[in-house]
Structure 1
Amino acid sequence: MDKYIAIGRVSKTHGVDGALKLKIKDRYWDDFAEAKVLFVESAGKVVPYFIEEFRGGLDPIVKFEDLNQRELAQALSGKELFMRESDLLPEAAEANVEQYERFEGYLLQDVELGDLGAIEEVVESPGQYLAFLEYQGREVSVPLNPVFIKSVDHKGKKVLVDLPEGLLDL
């Protein structure tokens, strides 16, 4: 069974031919640019929409096959857009929130500083995920960036990171 990842949202219709303006999450832009099909949930089912063409910059305008009227396109306004996880480029598939959410409760360890504390919450922020934890009596956030993560021990519930010097002092 396919797993679907939310990559953005339909913003509004554009013109009279059924074109739509989209908002794509930054980290999925490359995936979207390569996509042949996007999915929208409708009546409890995931419905495929095949891309006929797209143009524009950060808020692209997309024309789907067989969607040729503004009125039909309006039904998609405000709906979330999905791609199959298997269609994502490899680095984006690794970066979805489910991977990082499971770090909640894990012990965060730094190669230099040792145990930092238990990850209390993982939050998505523009372009990255942040782990929140209590460190030396105050709440700190640590970017869950693949560059910083050295290893993950799922059995022992530990994440080993190599953080830049001074990051925890911010």
Structure 2
Amino acid sequence: MLLDDTYQLGYIIKTHGLRGHVVAHFDVDDAAAYTKLKTVYLALAGAPTKLVAHHVEKVQPQAGTRVLLKLRGIERIEEAEPLRGAQLHLPLTELPALDEGQFYFHDVIGFTVVDENLGELGLVENFYELPQQDMLAMRYQGQEVLIPVVDELVSHADMVKKQIYVALPEGLLDIYLKPSSREQDEAE
């Protein structure tokens, strides 16, 4: 399995107990939906592009997005400790289906961003998953423009037309296009 054929489900936070259990964070809405998980692919911190398949013996949801995870062959704390910080991946083919208009970030890279007032703006180049919120990065008039991924600003994606529809607040593009007062001072 190649890293490009997977999505990150979450990561291992720490060990739990002496018998090889680990506590993991699952970046999902409902961790309980993964209790029947059979296999997970680990990308260890020292080799982030190499994936190693591990059979899952048990997934026990805890508070919020945390789960208690038991992997086959990891029987002692000494075997679990090197897994701390490892990313947990699943094949892209296992992504849950979305409702019409919803999208996964990786699916809309290269889509045209269409504003309800300004029309076509540019292409989606990337997404940044920041602690505060996710940001869509688009190229507009040679500048990278970041758009918060919130329902009020990003409405939906049209997978056939390869377009993502937004309602940008007035002045957002100006922030990126007009030079700051410091940049103006440096230019003079």
Tell me if 1:102 matches 2:106.
no
How big is the alpha-carbon RMSD for the aligned residues of Structure 1 and Structure 2? 3.5
Aligned with 1:167: secondary structure?
A: coil
Deviation at 1:132, TM superposition (A): 3.5
Deviation at 1:15, TM superposition (A): 1.3
Residue deviations 1:23-60 (CA, integer Å, cap 9, x gap)? 222xx243x43231322147844312314141421332
Instruction: Give 1:122's aligned residue.
Output: 126
| Structure 2: segments with no counterpart, 5+ residues | 173-188
Cα contact 2:59–2:67 (8 A) shared by 1: no
Aligned with 2:98: secondary structure?
A: helix
Pick the structure with greater CA Rg. Answer: 2
Cα contact 2:137–2:144 (8 A) shared by 1: no
Q: How many percent of aligned residue pairs carry the same amino acid?
A: 20
When the two structures are aligned, how many residues end up with a matched partner? 155
Note the 1:1-170 alignment, pairs <5 A.
3-25=5-27, 28-30=28-30, 32-35=31-34, 36-37=37-38, 38-41=40-43, 44-57=50-63, 58-91=65-98, 95-103=103-111, 106=112, 108-115=113-120, 117-119=121-123, 121-126=125-130, 128-134=134-140, 140-143=145-148, 148-149=155-156, 151-152=158-159, 153-154=161-162, 159-163=163-167, 167-169=169-171
Supply the AA of the counterpart residue of 1:98: H
Deviation at 1:70, TM superposition (A): 0.7
Supply the AA of the counterpart residue of 1:73: A
Cα contact 1:100–1:129 (8 A) shared by 2: no
Give the whole-Å Cα distance in 2 for the aligned partners of 1:59 and 1:130.
Answer: 26
Give the whole-Å Cα distance in 2 for the aligned partners of 1:51 and 1:113.
Answer: 52
Q: TM-score, normalised by structure 2?
A: 0.63
Deviation at 1:144, TM superposition (A): 5.2
Give the whole-Å Cα distance in 1 for the aligned partners of 2:170 and 2:55.
Answer: 45
Runs (4+) of structure 1 exceeding 4 A deviation are: 137-140, 143-147
Greater strand content = 1
Cα contact 1:97–1:124 (8 A) shared by 2: no
| Structure 1: segments with no counterpart, 5+ residues | none
Cα contact 1:110–1:162 (8 A) shared by 2: yes
